[in-house]
Each structure stands twice: as C-alpha cells, then as structure tokens.
A and B are shown apart, each in its own frame.
Chain A
C-alpha cells in the first residue's frame, strides 16, 4: 500500500534542501474528509500531505499556471516544482512533455500507486451513506475502502465506490516518476474502453438523442476546460478576443470578425465547443475524468473525450500518455494509416 509517511518524508527532504520551489499535493479540505489541492513551501508543511480515496484531482493541471506565473515575473525562480501524481495524472505529464509544454527538469514527480483500487465517485458515496455525513475515507489493506461516518467505520468493497474511470484505468501506478510509493502491481483491465463500446452499440439516432439531451444542459461555465491539464491555450477557440474594437470599428467589420462560437449556450454552439475540445484532445486525453467530475450539471463528458483515445489506439496503434519520446498523435503519421474512408 502506498505509504503517506514515505511521501511526506520525501517532500520534507526536497523542501528542506531547497530542491523545489513548492510541492503541489493533496491536503485535507476544511470539511475534514475531502482532499483538496494544496501548495506547500516549508518542510514543516509536508505533514499536511495526505493520500486517500478522495484524492481525485489531476494536479498536473496546475503546471500551466506555474508556466504563466513565470512568464509574468521579472526574475522567476527557475527551480523545479514538485508534484504528487497518481497513475492517470502521470500520463498527463507524459503528454505535456511530449508536446514540450514543460521540461522534464522543471518537475520532480512524486508518484503514488493506486495498486488494486483507485479513487471514489462522490455520488456513489452519498448513495451508500444515505444522508450520514462522512468523516474520513481511507484505503484498506485488502483493496477495500474504510469509510468512517456517523460514529461507525465500515469496510466497503472498492467496486461499490470506485469512480467509473478507475474501472477502465490502464495506469494504476505512475508511468513516470522521480519517487514512488506503493507497489507497481499489475491490474489488467478487461474492457479499457467498455464505456465507449456501450455508447457505440447504440444506434446513430439514439446517440444523437443522448448527446443533444446532455449538451442542452451545458451552461458554458468552462469548468471542463479549466480543470483539464491539456487545455492550456492562452486564447481558446471560444474566447476569440483578438479583434480590437474601437469607436471607429464599423458594423461590417464587427460582423465579419471570425467568431467560431457564439457566447450563447444554444445547443448548436455547445456542440461546436465540445466537439472542438474533443478533437483538440485527440491523442491527448488520458481519461482522468476530471471534466466530468467538475461539471456542475453532470454532463458525461468522459464518453466524449475518451472516444478519441480509443480511436487513437484502434486506428493508429497509438497509446496516449505512456511514452515521452513519442510525438503527438496528429503530428505524426504512418504510411499505412487507414484511408478506406477516402474516395
């Protein structure tokens, strides 16, 4: 089992020796049981780091912030940043390295293995506890979860509470790390794309009805984009702000300004936004599931963004997020790439 004491000791050491500027990790939130992202700078703070089944966030999301911060500072501190990652999160780091968005030297990767389990789905926990307030959730020794709520502790099998994405996880331990706690236990997944296959089995009209129903709910809060480590563009397609509007700008100029997506949350615009995001994540999405978790309207975005991960593997034999030396999916090709759809 991954040992939090090992992680804390390593963090303490790194901070004490000044090897990293700060460490991005998981800490306990104000409510006492949910993990939240924390940023620690002093060796004493290493005790705040935790590791439990509520550590759902993909912390590599904050690497883009670090880059922006450095770009703004006059004399940036160029020491590396420490980051705690699960298996899925480490695949995001691999993609960011493939794209040369960050350099390997700028990171100290503190890996934690999920071994045979993973993280929880909070809705499943709420259903299980039926109104009781959780106090603490921890990993058990046999791959189960120990849930303390309302003055009692119960052992719950992982299957009951595991997030859906963990059931299809292909990286239960980090694929890149400078330090690792926990065993690199093999955990073969029978149907790594099971959720996508279920969608594909529906008819075209059923799929359309599903997506129309879901995307109508979208309020374009862009939480899905904001929480994704791979959405690091300074100006997103939907932001198109690069037309300077002055008092002299004519109506024609404003009308002809390229605006790919309207700001309004109409279904057609929501489709453009989500389709563009899905295609921009083609060969980059590693199914951390954060987009779906962050969505306040519970739109099942995993089904959309993960589809191209499946296609990358099946059409092009491309595994997303495992090999740093691999070029990004759409900036390489093979001579025998399928072309039977082309007339």
Chain B
C-alpha cells in the first residue's frame, strides 16, 4: 500500500481573528486535517509577499493567508491592504505557472472555528491530487 501524499500547508493567521478561530476549532474538539503549519501574525496586512514566496521556496505545498472579515480588522484597514496586495501575489504566481490552487486566502473570524476547519479540509482536498510542490522548492 503506497503512502498517500499529505500536503504541507503553511498558514499565516492573523492573531485577532483567524488564529483565534483556529483556537476555537481546537477547543471545540472539531476535527480537521493535521497538515497545517500555523504562523501567527498580527494582521493579514502585515504579510509581506516575501513570506509567501519563501514558504514555497522552503517546500510548502500550499500557502494560506487568513484574516479578519472586511470591516472587522483589529487595526481597521489592514485586511483591505492585504486583499489588494495578495491579489497581486496570486495573479503573479498563476502567471508564472504555479497551480492556482496552491495559494489561498480566506476571511475567518474568531467565532468561526467551524469555517476554519472547512477551509483547511477543502484546501487539503484540492492539494492532494496536485502532488508535492516542486516548481519553486529549493533542492536541499
């Protein structure tokens, strides 16, 4: 029996909403795939595109950025900047031929533990058929 490919996802979660949402999922004992490496950031607006390219460079199969819903950002506007900036990142990555499913963005609030698990489940399901990410990965 061959081992099924388990994608490794790096998830940048904003502290005030998405990271709290992921905590809620945990506390509520909701099951979701263990493929995520969570990195807490203060705000989705503080994500530099460099982090995303670097995650792929280090071998991430998928990268997720998750923040507060528009209008709910703890810092008022951070997620609006993220929405614009990360749209550009997504377009650029698709343009160079990286599979579009590999970079995702979501709005998950602190109360949406259930949504968080759904986002992760869906992401893992979409990544499995794609196999490991080899295009941007550094050969160590």
Q: Answer whether A and B touch in the complex at a CB cut-off of 8 Å.
A: yes
Q: Mark A207-230, 1 if CB is under 8 A from B, else 0.
A: 111111000000000000000000
A311 touches B85 (CB 8 A): no
Of A10-18, A110-118, A177-185, A330-338, the one contacting chain B is: A330-338
Listed residue (B54, B77, B94, B96) with the most chain A CB atoms within 10 angstroms of its CB: B96
Chain B residues with CB under 8 Å of A199's CB are: 95
Cβ 8 A contact of A307, one of B50, B92, B138: B92
> Residue B32 at the A interface, CB < 8 A?
no
- The answer, yes or no, to whether A5 is at the interface (CB within 8 Å) is no
B53 touches A276 (CB 8 A): yes
Q: In the docked arrangement, what's the CA distance between A211 and B119, Å?
A: 31
Contacts of B114 in A (CB 8 A): none
- With A211-B97, A279-B92, A337-B83 in contact, is A269–B138 under 8 Å at CB? yes
- Interface residues in A, total, Cβ within 8 A: 42
Residues of B within 8 A of A315 (CB): 87-88, 91
A337-B87, A343-B105 in contact; A204/B92 too (CB < 8 A)?
Answer: no
* CA distance in complex: A307, B90 (Å): 12
How many chain B residues touch the partner (CB < 8 A)? Answer: 37
Q: Is the CB of B91 within 8 A of A311?
A: yes
CB distance from B44 to the nearest CB of A (A): 10
A341 and B105 contacting across the interface, CB-CB below 8 Å: yes
B106: chain A residues within 8 A (beta carbon): 342-343
Q: Does A38 sit at the interface, judged by CB under 8 A?
A: no
Render B69-90 as a binary contact track against A, CB cut-off 8 A, 1 for contact: 0100000010011011101111
Neighbouring A residues of B83 by C-beta, 8 Å? 333, 337, 339, 342
Residue of A237, A262, A282 touching B88 (CB-CB under 8 A): A282
Q: How far is the CA of A211 from the CA of B91 in the complex (A)?
A: 15
Closest CB in chain A relative to B70 CB, distance in Å: 7
Sample (14) of A-B pairs whose CB atoms are under 8 Å apart: A204-B99, A208-B97, A268-B139, A271-B57, A275-B53, A279-B92, A304-B95, A311-B91, A315-B88, A333-B77, A333-B80, A337-B84, A342-B83, A343-B105
> What 3 A-B pairs are tightest by C-beta distance, nearest first?
A208-B97, A207-B97, A343-B106
